[in-house]
Chains A and B, each alone.
Chain A
């Protein structure tokens, strides 16, 4: 197997959405290096250079709910043993330190009292928390004082009736979605309620919700972990790419559920365009894609402030509503230069008019440029959908064909791979247009455009074959052609991504927009 094939096997395994044991290590290794802040991706790539990892390929791991629980339990047990504190306290401390075990242990060794205090675990001499009846007790929350009232207090000794405690906890858990940082109900007391006390107090359904919320804070607290954004998927992905790296890398990850998304912004896979450009592009498209065509055909811009104006009747004497600039609709020149010839504009060669028309032409060009890229972007998005539709239809026919021509299930799988390839390649092509829209011309853009063209031609050719009538599809010659084209498409995609990712990592692209390096704000930081 040469290295090129090696390349393809990783790609195809990703495309086939099959879990690959070597890539996505699911076993909860006891010694997994979760707490070590992993090195920046570039360094780790250099270390594993012998594996010839593609520049656009990012290392990541998928964790299922069981793994996430196990990781927490492992960390809690470890801290429980090292620091000789209860598991409940270890859990609270770890959450307080956002699961940074090293920092917790170090800080705790240095100044245990302050650490416990800050985490809401202030030490006071008292037995383990339990419910009890206290004679002469008046609950400070509901002011009930009937004898025999069940009461509860944490270590801090702030005692309330059990009803109020329950009410408070359900308000926090169900009403506010709080779990890891629920404090004692007393004013000014920052002692945090531990899982064991909570289990003692509340009903089963609330406990479940509480543990689910706790579970979630673990993923949300760690910068290297993110939930898979696919609906109903409960997996989390670990990836070392940080927010500050996002201008140099597009961290596409793929979950075991098959969803491919960007770890930086949680949007669907948008290689090769970096997150920040994607955000800008989507915003721009939401602003004007639908109306852009109409605007270019029916409106003019105010020569002074460039506000778009539609003339819906009346005379040619325009006053911009925004900047109050007065101009002639016909020649776009200053109205004051028109003298008394109100309704006939005969001032074609007036200087201010020429300038205004130039400015308008420029903005028209920029709109046309945008539409050029947008139309191609939207076209690939649309085509990807259509290809998918065709595939579902073909799939049905293939089942039929299987029966009629005696082809086996495995023999028709080439259509599945072709369809997957079309989807991923179109997804990539789509984003190459958004990327190109922001790309400033330099020596490298030509290579990029050639790559883009090659991929596009390959994809269109495959797409065309794919649309052939079902009887032709069964033809073994076409089958071979489709298989070849499929692998060629995948190869072209890899080449394009490799080239763009490498230049991005080395900072060789120049963009015609300001890059602030804060492109990751778009994605949701929490779910549900």
Chain B
């Protein structure tokens, strides 16, 4: 299928020269339609110091249909559902906006951009968006609290793989399989 070549190329690009602050790997080498990524909380934001797992699912029609991206790590953010699903509201992934020429690298960068600059006008969590707009102090406190609680230590992806711990994050791109026993799970709300 035509999409295989494109996906292989994109994967090679993303692993050899990844977008800043993002590490990409396949949890299962035989399935190129499911990517895992670890996103470092951008510096100067409330998410700094946190490591967030992202699950990228490519539909069979990719690149003609948009991929879906979800947070595997809980995050306190106006545009991400505050639950274990971690759905993201990202304009460029909506069917009417998606373009087949868009690269996954730019999708991941857009997700990172969302952490740098949340979009409270287009919220998935209205309450958090209100707090972000009207009580930034409280928002910052809550967001940092979530980072401490959920986004420290090895990143968990719903039992399908663990990302390498920060110390060895350099070139070990393959996540060890098995759920691991990280002390800060994603499902412990």
Within 8 Å CB of B61, what residues of A?
Answer: 171
Within 8 Å CB of A326, what residues of B?
Answer: none
- Mark each residue of chain B from 1 to 37: 1 if its CB lies under 8 Å from any CB of chain A, else 0: 0110110010000000000000000000000000000
Q: Are A143 and B6 in contact (CB under 8 A)?
A: yes
Query: Is A178 in contact with chain B by the CB < 8 A criterion?
Result: yes
> A336 vs B127: C-alpha distance in the bound complex, in angstroms?
40
- With A142-B3, A142-B6, A168-B64 given, is the CB distance from A178 to B96 under 8 Å? yes
Within 8 Å CB of B96, what residues of A?
Answer: 176, 178
Q: Are B100 and A185 in contact (CB under 8 A)?
A: yes
- Mark each residue of chain B from 69 to 113: 1 if its CB lies under 8 Å from any CB of chain A, else 0: 000000000000000000000000001100111110010000000
Query: Is A361 in contact with chain B by the CB < 8 A criterion?
Result: no
Cross-chain contact of B101 among A141, A144, A163, A178 (Cβ < 8 A) = A141
In the complex, the chain B residue whose C-beta lies closest to that of A141 is B100
> A140 vs B103: C-alpha distance in the bound complex, in angstroms?
10
Q: Are A143 and B100 in contact (CB under 8 A)?
A: no
**Count class of interface residues, chain B:** 10 to 19
Q: Are B63 and A141 in contact (CB under 8 A)?
A: yes
Cross-chain contact of A142 among B2, B102, B103 (Cβ < 8 A) = B2
- Mark each residue of chain A from 159 to 181: 1 if its CB lies under 8 Å from any CB of chain B, else 0: 01001100110010001101000
6 A-B residue pairs with Cβ-Cβ distance under 8 Å, sorted by A, are A141-B100, A142-B5, A143-B5, A143-B6, A167-B100, A171-B61
Query: Is A83 in contact with chain B by the CB < 8 A criterion?
Result: no
Interface residues of B (CB under 8 A from A): 2-3, 5-6, 9, 61, 63-65, 95-96, 99-103, 106
In the complex, the chain B residue whose C-beta lies closest to that of A189 is B99
> A176 vs B100: C-alpha distance in the bound complex, in angstroms?
14
Interface residues of A (CB under 8 A from B): 140-144, 158, 160, 163-164, 167-168, 171, 175-176, 178, 183, 185-189
> A187 vs B105: C-alpha distance in the bound complex, in angstroms?
13
> A188 vs B98: C-alpha distance in the bound complex, in angstroms?
10
Cross-chain contact of A185 among B5, B9, B65, B101 (Cβ < 8 A) = B101
Q: Are A171 and B5 in contact (CB under 8 A)?
A: no
Q: Are A171 and B2 in contact (CB under 8 A)?
A: no
Cross-chain contact of A163 among B2, B6, B99, B102 (Cβ < 8 A) = B2
> A164 vs B102: C-alpha distance in the bound complex, in angstroms?
13
Within 8 Å CB of A163, what residues of B?
Answer: 2
- With A141-B63, A171-B65 given, is the CB distance from A185 to B2 under 8 Å? no
> A185 vs B101: C-alpha distance in the bound complex, in angstroms?
6
> A158 vs B64: C-alpha distance in the bound complex, in angstroms?
16
> A284 vs B3: C-alpha distance in the bound complex, in angstroms?
52
Main DSSP-derived SS at the B contact region: loop
> A178 vs B102: C-alpha distance in the bound complex, in angstroms?
19
- With A168-B64, A171-B61 given, is the CB distance from A144 to B99 under 8 Å? no
Q: Are A158 and B9 in contact (CB under 8 A)?
A: no
Within 8 Å CB of B102, what residues of A?
Answer: 187
Q: Are A187 and B101 in contact (CB under 8 A)?
A: yes
> A171 vs B100: C-alpha distance in the bound complex, in angstroms?
11
Q: Are A140 and B101 in contact (CB under 8 A)?
A: yes
Within 8 Å CB of B3, what residues of A?
Answer: 142
Give the distance to chain A from B13, nearest Cβ to Cβ, in Å. 10
Q: Are B99 and A167 in contact (CB under 8 A)?
A: no
> A206 vs B65: C-alpha distance in the bound complex, in angstroms?
18
Give the distance to chain A from B98, nearest Cβ to Cβ, in Å. 9
Within 8 Å CB of B9, what residues of A?
Answer: 143
> A140 vs B106: C-alpha distance in the bound complex, in angstroms?
14
- With A158-B101, A171-B65, A186-B101 given, is the CB distance from A141 to B6 under 8 Å? yes
> A160 vs B99: C-alpha distance in the bound complex, in angstroms?
12
Most buried by A among B6, B64, B102: B64
In the complex, the chain A residue whose C-beta lies closest to that of B106 is A187
- With A183-B99, A187-B99, A187-B101 given, is the CB distance from A144 to B5 under 8 Å? yes
- 15 further interface pairs, Cβ-Cβ under 8 Å (given A142-B6, A167-B2): A142-B63, A143-B5, A143-B6, A158-B101, A160-B101, A164-B100, A167-B64, A167-B100, A168-B64, A168-B100, A175-B65, A178-B96, A185-B100, A186-B99, A188-B99
Most buried by A among B6, B61, B96, B99: B99
